A = this chain, B = another copy of it.
Amino acid sequence: MTGLSSIHSVPVEQIATATLSVETAGEGFFEITRDVARFLKKINARDGVLFLYLRHTSASLVIQENADPDVRTDLVTALKRVAPANAGWVHEVEGPDDMPAHIKAALTQTQLCIPVDNGKPMLGTWQGIHLFEHRAAPHRRELVLHLIGE
């Protein structure tokens, strides 16, 4: 059973954009939900669709639970099992975490789109927006943010 409701329209007026840099501390999740909220506030966003784009191939974007940190621990474990180090990869230029990082990025997201209502991202109760660093060493990562709407 499905139900469709709350249908309404607003005029499209602007595309607002910004870059966001995130310094990671090595492999793991770095929540950026607050940074995204800050961007929406700065541009006085109302309704629209928000786009996030990560300019890297060894880190990714994931919307996942931000309540119990065990979820993120297990996600790191799960991806390690799918893309282990020293598993006969040809590409090892930057060390044993190099190729696994590319695989983990390919299996998650480089880009996200999130609905915005009254200036706030319409995340579910347990959803947080995360940058997922796949390299062992700390990195500086760059994102591009866009809001299309009013």
Contacts and interface: CB of A to CB of B under 8 A. Distances in A.
User: Can you tell how many copies of this chain the complex includes?
Assistant: 3
A10 B78 CA distance: 41
Contact of A106 (B5, B12, B62): B62
B6 A19 contact: yes
A43 to B, nearest CB: 6
Given A49-B148, A57-B124, A108-B106, A9 B17 contact: yes
A15 B142 contact: no
A14 interface: yes
Interface of A: 1-23, 32, 35, 38-39, 42-43, 47-49, 51, 53-57, 62-65, 68, 70-71, 73-75, 77-78, 82-83, 88-91, 93, 99, 102-103, 105-115, 117, 122-127, 142, 144, 146, 148-150
